[in-house]
């Protein structure tokens, strides 16, 4: 029997991800997700990395600052998000290769209003990805 893994996220954070992806739908947005007790409640957008239609990156200095902010606020790093401006929002080969945080949930957002699924989440480790069930929580 296959165990379905679940990631919990507040509705407002999900809405923030979608709004960010739609604010510049031609390029990938990205950032970190944080919270407590396995509930994602904070979105930390990355603003300083290179922006393109097919890749995302957080600059090392900004990544350090985001992790420091989480530590200072008593938050846990629970996820990473980015958008796929075109095509399916499943992990690309590059997404899998660059998944350096195996304990984090990787959210992929589609800015396209007619996408079959606007937001998907994955566990990515050891070169494999597994889709997670998203449990949306009203705060």
Q: Give residue 52's pLDDT.
A: 76
Question: What is the average pLDDT across 22-45?
Answer: 95
Instruction: Report the percent of the chain where pLDDT is more than 90.
Output: 81
Does residue 1 have a pLDDT over 60?
A: no
Q: Output 56 or 96, whichever has higher pLDDT.
A: 96
* Cβ neighbours for 45, distance < 8 A, ≥ 6 positions apart: 20, 29, 30, 31
pLDDT in tens, 113-133: 888 899 999 999 999 999 999
For the chain, strand residue ranges (E) read 6-10, 30-36, 39-45, 76-83, 105-109, 119-125, 128-137
Q: Is residue 12 part of a domain?
A: yes
CATH number at residue 44: 3.40.140.10
Q: Which domain holds residue 65?
A: 7-137
Q: Is residue 127 part of a domain?
A: yes
Tell me the average pLDDT of the chain.
92
The number of domains in the chain is 1
Q: What is the mean pLDDT of residues 47-74?
A: 88
Question: Which pLDDT belongs to residue 4?
Answer: 56
Cβ–Cβ < 8 Å for 21, 75 = no
């Amino acid at each position: 029997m296959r165990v379905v893994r679940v990631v919990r996220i507040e509705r407002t954070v999900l809405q923030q991800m979608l709004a960010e992806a739609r604010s510049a739908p031609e390029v990938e947005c990205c950032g970190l997700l944080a919270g407590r007790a396995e509930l994602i409640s904070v979105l930390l957008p990355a603003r300083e990395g290179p922006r393109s239609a097919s890749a995302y990156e957080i600059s090392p200095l900004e990544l350090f600052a985001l992790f420091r902010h989480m530590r200072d606020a008593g938050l846990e790093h629970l996820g990473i998000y980015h958008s796929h401006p075109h095509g399916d929002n499943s992990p690309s080969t590059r997404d899998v290769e660059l998944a350096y945080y195996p304990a984090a949930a990787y959210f992929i957002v589609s800015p396209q209003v007619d996408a079959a699924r606007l937001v998907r989440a994955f566990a990515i480790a050891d070169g494999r990805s597994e889709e997670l069930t998203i449990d949306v929580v009203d705060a």
